[in-house]
Amino acid sequence: MRGKSHEEQSAASQSLAGTLDAVFWLDRPDTPQPVDALSGQTTADLVIVGAGFTGLWTALVAAEADPGRRIVVLEAETTAFGASGRNGGFCEASLTHGLANGLAHWPDELDTLLRLGDENLDDLLDTIDRHAIDCDAERTGRMDIAVEPWQVDELLQLAEASSRLGVDHAMLDTEAIRAEIDSPTYLAGLWHRTDAAMVDPARLAWGLQSAARSLGVVFHDNSPVCSIKRSGAGIEVQTDRGRVMADRAVVATNAYRRPLSRIRRHVIPVYDHVLMTEPLSTDQWSAIGWGNRQGLSDAGNQFHYYRRTADGRILWGGYDIIYHFGGRVGPSVEHHAPTTRRLAQSFFHTFPQLGGLRFTHRWSGPIASTTRFTCAWGTTHAGRVSWAAGYTGLGVGASRFGARVALDLVDGLTTERTQLQMVLRRPFPFPPEPARWLAVQATRAAIKRADRREGREGLWLRTLARFGIGLNS
Ligand SMILES: Cc1cc2nc3c(=O)[nH]c(=O)nc-3n(C[C@H](O)[C@H](O)[C@H](O)COP(=O)(O)OP(=O)(O)OC[C@H]3O[C@@H](n4cnc5c(N)ncnc54)[C@H](O)[C@@H]3O)c2cc1C
């Protein structure tokens, strides 16, 4: 990102006066009331820990497959409290955090992963229709945008790989991209027209919860799980005020710490920040176009993602990824004024026509990142507990797939999904602290340098890449 002009800096400061520190998607009059916390002892066939997308899809898929199964979901806060209620709402087919990452890690199984990803997105959207979930889902596709000359070459290479792999796409030159969406910073765009839908993530999560409840799944909010132990032939899941004696459990806590510490070897929480504008006027929309409503992101290693909302706002997020020493998560690390300011400045750098527009909401959330940028899975407690975590910044769609794998694993099933190399092999682990913190900072600095040097990676990033390791959002 180039230096910011005085006008951009002053537009950014004005736009942030009066911005609420709140998640737009959760700041709604129709936010559901919390359900009762677990108190005392109960029994279940399957306990799910965490009511984000992974936990919700696990519950719904399991209940639809076996209506007699007694399923209990335990959530530390309320449904969609975590990343699932705070994200950009890009619901993508990719299970591999994009095509380039898929090619880098699983060239031999990429055809299968692409097919499974397309099926997953189709089935996810069918489920939204079947349960009449009102989450403003629109299959608009998404577009990568080159804002530096070196990024045009990268997009051309990606377009060539897309053609080879039969992935639907259109390459847009400067004139064509600016006819779609007008920004003076745009040089080219690669539009994947069918492989993404935009959704309202919180409404999707609440709708999944309601669908699962209609099938008999029992939810408990404000019920943090503190331990999971073997107990006879089953397991005992303990919360602060209650206990579930169960046959099996799926842990879907993603970036959060408890209750399985072994996930921390493979998954770290990195904070991603988001701004939401007020609704644009008709004139403001005319000034930028964007009639096809695609999800957009710029093509640098550090990138912004942005989209239109159903009520005419722009969500603008990304760029910085912030790791807090020891993997801290929670309110004490959620606000970072310099990052918010940088985001606002880059917004007006991209859309100078929108000077005067204000941001109504700012927030952040923990992205669960792995060194290969995709979900990891595992089992513990002699196979009675499975876990899925670490989608990095692309878990809205992939979490349905992650949930299905976690369910296959905990049910002891061998399926096409469980036989994937992506599932069988775990990502390279992160080192323990303090080396973890130092490695993340060194990698962030190296990524910034690469973006400044026309994408050319230095020794540190090249060495990591040789081991299939990286850092992303
Ligand atoms: C700012 C931001 C933007 C993003 N944008 C996108 C995007 O546009 N597209 C995309 O595909 N992905 C995006 N992502 C990633 C995506 O949101 C996540 O991958 C996805 O929501 C993960 O869902 P999950 O259910 O696994 O995790 P979460 O939604 O984090 O759910 C985990 C749940 O577990 C609960 N929990 C934790 N510990 C316990 C415990 N001990 N007991 C009980 N419950 C517990 C938490 O309270 C939480 O509700 C974004 C993420 C962030 C943070």
- CATH code of the domain in which 238 resides: 3.50.50.60
**Does residue 287 fall inside a structural domain?**
no
168, two tokens: 């639907």
Give the DSSP per-residue string, 404-426. HHHHHHHTT---TTTTSHHHHSP
Residues 111 and 198 in one domain: yes
The pLDDT assigned to 257 comes to 78
Looking at the structure, tell me whether residues 444 and 424 fall in a common domain.
no
Instruction: Let me know whether 132 and 71 are in one domain.
Output: yes
The answer to whether residues 456 and 374 belong to one domain is: no
DSSP H or E run through 321? none
Q: Is 86 in the pocket of ligand 1 (CB under 6 A)?
A: yes
- Residues 119 and 205 reside in one and the same domain: yes
Strand runs (DSSP E) across 98-239, as ranges? 142-146, 170-172, 188-192, 196-198, 218-220, 225-231, 234-239
Do residue 212 and residue 250 come from a single domain? yes
Q: Is residue 353 part of a domain?
A: no
C-beta separation of 391 from 398 below 8 A: yes
378 and 457 share a domain?
no
Pocket of ligand 1 contains residue 259 by CB under 6 Å: yes
Residue 17 domain-assigned (yes or no): no
Decide if 62 is inside a domain: yes
70 and 111, same domain (yes or no): yes
Instruction: Look at residue 386 and tell me if it is in a domain.
Output: yes
Write the residue with the smallest CA distance to atom 9 of ligand 1. 90
Full residue range of the structural domain in which residue 395 is found: 32-140+194-267+370-430
Protein residue whose Cα sits closest to atom 2 of ligand 1: 87
Cα 134 to Cα 204: distance, rounded to the nearest angstrom = 7
Number of H helices, E strands in the chain: 13, 19
Distance from residue 161's CA to the centre of ligand 1 (Å): 30
121 occurs within a structural domain: yes
Residues 209-262 pLDDT 10s: 999 999 999 999 999 999 999 999 999 999 999 999 999 999 999 999 778 888
Please give the tally of structural domains in the chain.
2
Distance from Cα 312 to the centre of ligand 1, integer Å:
25
Question: Which residue positions in the chain have pLDDT lower than 50?
Answer: 1
Indicate whether residue 200 lines ligand 1 (CB < 6 A). no
- From 321, 367, 369, 370, the mutation candidate for ligand 1 (largest count of ligand atoms within 8 A of CB) is 367
Domain assignment present for residue 9? The answer is no
Do 391 and 439 have their domain in common? no
Judgement on whether residues 453 and 426 belong to the same structural domain of the protein: no
Q: Contact, 256 vs 84, CB < 8 A? A: no
Pair 57, 118 in one domain: yes
Do 381 and 461 share a domain, yes or no? no
User: What does the pLDDT read at residue 3?
Assistant: 54
426 within domain boundaries: yes
The rounded distance, in Å, linking the Cα atoms of 26 and 14 is 25
Cβ pair 376, 266 in contact under 8 A: yes
